Amino acid sequence: MTALDSTPAALLDSVAGAIGNTPLVRLRRVTEGVTAAVYVKLEYLNPGGSVKDRAALWMLDAAETAGDLRPGGTVVEASSGNTGIGLAAVAVARGYRTIVVVPDKSSAEKVALLRAYGVQVHVTPGGRPVGHPEHLRSVALGLAESIPGAWFAGQYDNPANPAAHYATTGPEIWAATGGRVTHYVAGVGTGGTISGAGEYLKEVSDGRVRVIGADPETSVYGGGDGRAWYVESVGHYLHPDTEEDLWPTSYHPEVVDGIESIPDLESITLLHRLAREEGLLLGGSSGTSVAAALRVARGLGPDDVVVVIAPDSGRSYLSKYYNDAWLGQWGFPLVTATSAPVVGDLVAPGDGESFAVIPSNATVAEATALLGDRAALPVQLARAKSGAPVAAELIGSFASNSTASTEDPVRDHLAPALPVVGVTEPIDAARERLGEYRGPVAVVRAGVAVALIDADRVVATAL
């Protein structure tokens, strides 16, 4: 039996006082073959439910001190959700109004949470390059400029963001491990968490602590080409139309000794194991981070102590990484084991070989040549390097079009995107989603389009 800690609970003046001092829990079961100790720091135990409460509090305090935010003012931020929630929690208690601009790929739970705190939420469409008027940051900046008394928090370039982790996350890890920590692992979004705590841990250990970033496989931080991925809130996306790729100044890459690039499939598979085997229900970026920590730990010995940040809870993603409808559609392993036939059973080897996608910078002539005798093909955002067509970047489809001039960009002749079905999706679920639709459908495995089949093949299958 484990005795419960008998330290008296804190009596606090406000919700801000409950931020920080989160516990570290040792992983015991997903660590087969690992002799190093791996501890997960549970940031979902912050009052706003994520690591971002720390940065939110530090940014608000700094703005008040500098006089940028005055009584009755309005807090504006661009956020995948958690920073907005952290800001809202502290801001409402201090009498400020909060406006948050979120990308449409943020989970429905995070948007609902923001609204529950009384936040005015603006949802922006994904897939816009930086500088585009509909890009998250442009919308937030526009709002901040037009509202008197508004202050834009700007977590990507606000020094108070990494400073929060230098002042709290780093020292907490050092104290909790009695200075035994040897490796610090964290995902990189704005870079605040890894940079601030990483800097502190290096300083306090005379440079002994290694700092490792956890990054989605295609994110540019780890050397990917920036194409889309499915684990939200970490990594750096690069829209192909981006003119100049600026990294956040909250990220200090010189602090980072290495980056582990983690495919979505590895993150999500591990998330499911953490819930079932460790009793830890964590958010998507925790899957990425713990996967990176396990990779690092496999090369270490019994004297090593790895600390990895789990930024938030799986409760914010019950509609995504723990939801079979979402997992099935994008071709990730389901939470509930099924013996029902799945879409993957319908895919024949030739379906993949003859499959093609049309890059969005193709001309109609080029697209028509690729189309061949197929009814339609998906069109994906084009980038310099070729690679696997990520389902999230299929922006439309092209069917033969006799009225289009052959030199026209295919982009000007897009039909709606083809429906997608996932290889792990039960056939009856795919059939229900397709409804009356007949025609080509893109088959997706772990977020990547791998084949084209006819909807008839799904609909006509005898179950």
31, 74, 82, 261: which one binds ligand PMP (CB under 6 A):
82
Establish if 185 lies at the interface with ligand PMP (CB under 6 A).
no
Establish if 80 lies at the interface with ligand PMP (CB under 6 A).
yes
Establish if 234 lies at the interface with ligand PMP (CB under 6 A).
yes
Selected range binding ligand PMP among 100-108, 186-194, 266-274, 317-325, rule: CB under 6 A: 186-194
Annotation says 52 is catalytic: yes
- Residue 48 beta carbon to ligand PMP: minimum distance, rounded to whole angstroms: 10
Report the alpha-carbon distance of residue 139 to residue 100 in Å, rounded.
10
> In this complex, which beta carbon is closest to ligand PMP, that of residue 240 or of residue 283?
283
Establish if 235 lies at the interface with ligand PMP (CB under 6 A).
no
- Residue 373 beta carbon to ligand PMP: minimum distance, rounded to whole angstroms: 46
Q: Are strands 305-310 and 37-42 parallel, antiparallel or unpaired?
A: parallel
> In this complex, which beta carbon is closest to ligand PMP, that of residue 63 or of residue 449?
63
265-304: contacts with ligand PMP (CB under 6 A)? 283, 285
- Residue 78 beta carbon to ligand PMP: minimum distance, rounded to whole angstroms: 10
Give how many residues touch ligand PMP by CB under 6 A.
17
Selected range binding ligand PMP among 84-92, 130-138, 185-193, 219-227, rule: CB under 6 A: 185-193
Residue with tokens 């994906």: 380
- Residue 202 beta carbon to ligand PMP: minimum distance, rounded to whole angstroms: 17
Nearest by Cα to 254 from 219, 297, 208, 211: 211
- Residue 285 beta carbon to ligand PMP: minimum distance, rounded to whole angstroms: 3
Report the alpha-carbon distance of residue 125 to residue 252 in Å, rounded.
29
Please report which helix (H) or strand (E) contains residue 456, including its range: helix 455-459
Classify residue 462 as left (phi > 0), alpha (psi -120 to 50) or beta.
Answer: beta
Selected range binding ligand PMP among 7-15, 133-141, 184-192, 325-333, rule: CB under 6 A: 184-192
103, 192, 331, 378: which one binds ligand PMP (CB under 6 A):
192
Q: Other C-beta atoms within 10 Å of 413: how many?
A: 17
Question: Which of 41, 52, 110, 320 is an active site residue?
Answer: 52
Which residues does residue 26 pair with via DSSP β-bridges, in sequence order?
39
Q: List Cβ neighbours of 191 (8 Å cut-off, separation of 6 or more).
A: 162, 247, 248, 250, 251, 252, 253
359-418: contacts with ligand PMP (CB under 6 A)? none
47, 49, 191, 331: which one binds ligand PMP (CB under 6 A):
191
The sheet with strand 376-380 has its strands ordered as: 358-359, 376-380, 394-399
448 token code pair: 């990547």
445 token code pair: 């495995």
> In this complex, which beta carbon is closest to ligand PMP, that of residue 193 or of residue 424?
193
Establish if 193 lies at the interface with ligand PMP (CB under 6 A).
yes
Residue with tokens 């684990």: 231
- Residue 250 beta carbon to ligand PMP: minimum distance, rounded to whole angstroms: 7
Selected range binding ligand PMP among 8-16, 189-197, 358-366, 420-428, rule: CB under 6 A: 189-197
> In this complex, which beta carbon is closest to ligand PMP, that of residue 82 or of residue 368?
82
DSSP string, 411-439: GGGPBPPPPEEETTSBHHHHHHHHTT--S
- Residue 399 beta carbon to ligand PMP: minimum distance, rounded to whole angstroms: 39
Which residues does residue 258 pair with via DSSP β-bridges, in sequence order?
212
Helix (H, G, I), strand (E, B) or coil at 461: coil
Q: Is the dihedral of CA 345, 349, 353, 354 positive or negative?
A: negative
60, 188, 308, 449: which one binds ligand PMP (CB under 6 A):
188
302-331: contacts with ligand PMP (CB under 6 A)? 311-312
> In this complex, which beta carbon is closest to ligand PMP, that of residue 77 or of residue 304?
77
> In this complex, which beta carbon is closest to ligand PMP, that of residue 192 or of residue 426?
192
- Running DSSP on this structure, what letter comes out for residue 9? P
**Number of H-type helices and E-type strands within the chain:** 14, 16
Report the alpha-carbon distance of residue 187 to residue 311 in Å, rounded.
8
74, 107, 182, 233: which one binds ligand PMP (CB under 6 A):
233
Closest CB to ligand PMP belongs to which residue? Answer: 189
Report the alpha-carbon distance of residue 172 to residue 203 in Å, rounded.
14
> In this complex, which beta carbon is closest to ligand PMP, that of residue 139 or of residue 256?
256
For the CA atoms of the chain, what is the radius of gyration?
Answer: 23
Establish if 187 lies at the interface with ligand PMP (CB under 6 A).
yes
Whole-angstrom CA distances from 72 to 27, 78, 95, 96, 429 are 45, 20, 6, 6, 50
315, exposed or middle or buried, with CB in 10 Å at 0-12, 13-18, 19+?
middle
- Residue 242 beta carbon to ligand PMP: minimum distance, rounded to whole angstroms: 19
Selected range binding ligand PMP among 14-22, 187-195, 202-210, 340-348, rule: CB under 6 A: 187-195
The residues carrying an active-site annotation are 52
Q: Which spans of this chain sit near ligand PMP (rule: CB under 6 A)?
A: 50, 52, 80, 82, 187-193, 233-234, 283, 285, 311-312
